A and B are shown apart, each in its own frame.
Chain A
Amino acid sequence: MTRRFVEGSEAIVDAAILAGCRFFAGYPMTPFTEVLDHMASKMPAAGGVCINAESELEAVGMTWGALATGARAATGSVGQGLSLMQESFSEITRAELPLVVFNMARGQSDYYQSTRGGGHGDYFHIVLCPIDIHEAIEHVQLAFHLADRWRNPVQIYGDYLLAHTAEAVELEPIAHDALPAKDWALDGSLNGTGRSRNVNSIGMSKGAKGIAPEQFWKRLQAKYERIREQETRYEAEFLADADYVVTAFGTTAKFVRHVVRDMRDDGRRIGYVRPVTLWPFPAQIYRDCAGAAREIGVFELNGGQMIDDVRLSVLGGAPIVSLGGISSDESGFGVGPLLNTEVIRTILEENYARATGGGSAP
């Protein structure tokens, strides 16, 4: 494999095409625009279609149609654009279509939007949150696989840093297990047989009077239970003897992890947890480390969103404190002054000292 120096947006697009994505529709918005640009430039040569849609709403609608024919298809935007797509997300999810969404968020303030299912109804998206471009390349390929495996949308929660940082990467194809054929996909072949298909979100079927939404939606809930059991992912370091645990997600976590490793080198008994899947959230690891830790510090650059999931995981098992906060640049893209290892070190040292009563012996 050749190493190439590419920005995150391009790496994501290359990984998607490698994973078999053959349809993309999007609308320009910073910091997502380059994903659309790279898709527009690379999809045709890959035999796929990229449409520069006239609005985010139309972009997700086109992707919806492409998905219904059984294609691997994706869309994306930033939080603001995803806000527009929510109604469609809800319908697509409950129609069990394998949508992949590239969310190049303006920072960390869209955690709730991604993990709570921002539209109407009882549904979730699997949310993969890469720490850097290398993990993003794995996550993009995993996303298409999981989306098909579970017939449920998967979102990649990226951000400005991820999309606009360039690194030398190798695009390694990842082999995943074989998946069953998409016999639910529309092709007209069953027309006129009485068994033609209706891809829909409320349990409508052919030839039957009425619809059966309750039974249909309950089946979806059971699916979410299985996804929670099987697809939770996290990264953790130094938990075995940690007096203090700090947790962060996404590209911010790379800064935090770096500082934690430095602090360990200097003898602090500090541990680190990073959810890799924001949904399903890896509750168990937080429960496990809550017993020994004096405190869990949540370093997220927003008004306090992931901290709710940490609290729900731990349920009073340890004090939980917010260490981050709103921090952004002048354009509001989320690259703010707290994204600085020296600043983070100061914050962690202060809180570590306070929580552990002056620090522990090396």
Chain B
Amino acid sequence: MTLIETKRPPDVPAKEWRAQRPALLLDGDHDLCPGCGEPIALRSLLEVIEEIGWADRTLAAVGIGCYTALTALLDIDMVQALHGRAPSLATGMKRMRPDRLVFTLQGDGDMVNEGLQEVLHSAARGEAITCILLNNGVFGETGGHMTATTVLGQRTKNTLEGRDAKYHGHPISMTDLLTPLGGVSYVARGTVTTARDVERTRRYLRRALETQIAGNGFSFVEILTMCPTGWFIPVAEGPGYLNETIAPVFRTGEFKVAGKPVEAGS
């Protein structure tokens, strides 16, 4: 097989179509596991913020999870919140700086376990913030335990035989909880398993942020991410496992647009 040189830019006329890294992502390793979906989601978010021209007017409230380590590379003014509390911090930030784009970055353990009350109240109040949920169905940072979004049958540190409704109850879908609330304007769920999924997720993120910029109330994007480490599977099987086990339970698509529920997920 003839290999193409990939150490240098091409020496024929070409357009650089995607730079290695968005400007808001600092150079450096992020130390997250091989095959982790979270850096894909974060990078997509940063690209979108740059594309819509709000790079220097954005503030973040970040939760606690593996993704917290990514904040060392996040070149955005941010406040580190406690587990679950980011929506309240974002509320205070946005009320004091309504001219800024304010988002939260939270995992499922953070938002749906510890912080369920916070996100529901912020949503019902219609705070003009964008809450972003990185959902991999486990507490990744502490070793892969069950969260409120772990799906039935999913194996975690404390559901080694698979989550059983009788002992462990049922998972919670944030899009189900948020869509009916009056203050909520935009709700979507995407994944990052293929390039097409990433493109769709970027579109959802963009529409969520545009909802905030237009002052139209609360917006929410849930992003299903791979966690081969927490799922106890080989890295390369991450996308397949997500699509076979998790995505059937948590449908992707847009659930609420401009304050109106969407009839069926797209």
Tell me, yes or no, whether A and B come into direct contact in the complex with CB atoms closer than 8 A.
yes
Task: Please report the total number of B residues contacting A with Cβ < 8 Å.
Answer: 42
Q: Judging by beta carbons under 8 Å apart, are B28 and A191 in contact?
A: no
A207 interface neighbour in B28, B58, B82, B117, Cβ under 8 Å: B28
Let me know if A190 is at the binding interface, CB within 8 A. yes
Let me know if B152 is at the binding interface, CB within 8 A. no
Please tell me which stretch of B35-43, B90-98, B165-173 contacts chain A, meaning at least 4 of its Cβ atoms lie within 8 angstroms of it. B90-98
Q: Answer whether A61 and B118 are a contact pair too, CB < 8 Å, given A186-B93, A189-B56.
A: yes
Name A16-56 residues within 8 Å CB distance of B. 22-23, 25, 49, 51, 53-55
Name A173-196 residues within 8 Å CB distance of B. 186-194, 196
Q: Judging by beta carbons under 8 Å apart, are A198 and B78 in contact?
A: yes
Please report whether the interface of chain B is mostly helix, strand, loop or mixed according to DSSP: mixed
Q: How far is the CA of A61 from the CA of B121 in the complex (A)?
A: 12
Let me know if A69 is at the binding interface, CB within 8 A. yes
Q: Judging by beta carbons under 8 Å apart, are A61 and B89 in contact?
A: yes
Let me know if A68 is at the binding interface, CB within 8 A. yes
Q: Judging by beta carbons under 8 Å apart, are B88 and A58 in contact?
A: yes
Q: Judging by beta carbons under 8 Å apart, are B31 and A65 in contact?
A: no
Q: Judging by beta carbons under 8 Å apart, are B80 and A57 in contact?
A: no
Measured between beta carbons, the chain A residues less than 8 angstroms from B28 are 207, 209
Q: How close is B60's CB to chain A, nearest CB, in angstroms?
A: 9
Name B8-51 residues within 8 Å CB distance of A. 23-24, 26-29, 31
A23 interface neighbour in B59, B96, B121, Cβ under 8 Å: B96
Name B86-121 residues within 8 Å CB distance of A. 87-97, 100-101, 117-118, 121
Q: Judging by beta carbons under 8 Å apart, are B96 and A66 in contact?
A: yes
Chain B interfacial positions (CB closer than 8 Å to A): 23-24, 26-29, 31, 55-59, 61, 71-82, 85, 87-97, 100-101, 117-118, 121
20 A-B pairs (CB sep. < 8 Å)? A23-B95, A51-B91, A54-B117, A57-B85, A61-B91, A62-B91, A64-B81, A66-B93, A66-B96, A73-B92, A87-B82, A186-B77, A188-B56, A188-B59, A191-B58, A192-B55, A198-B80, A200-B80, A201-B80, A207-B26
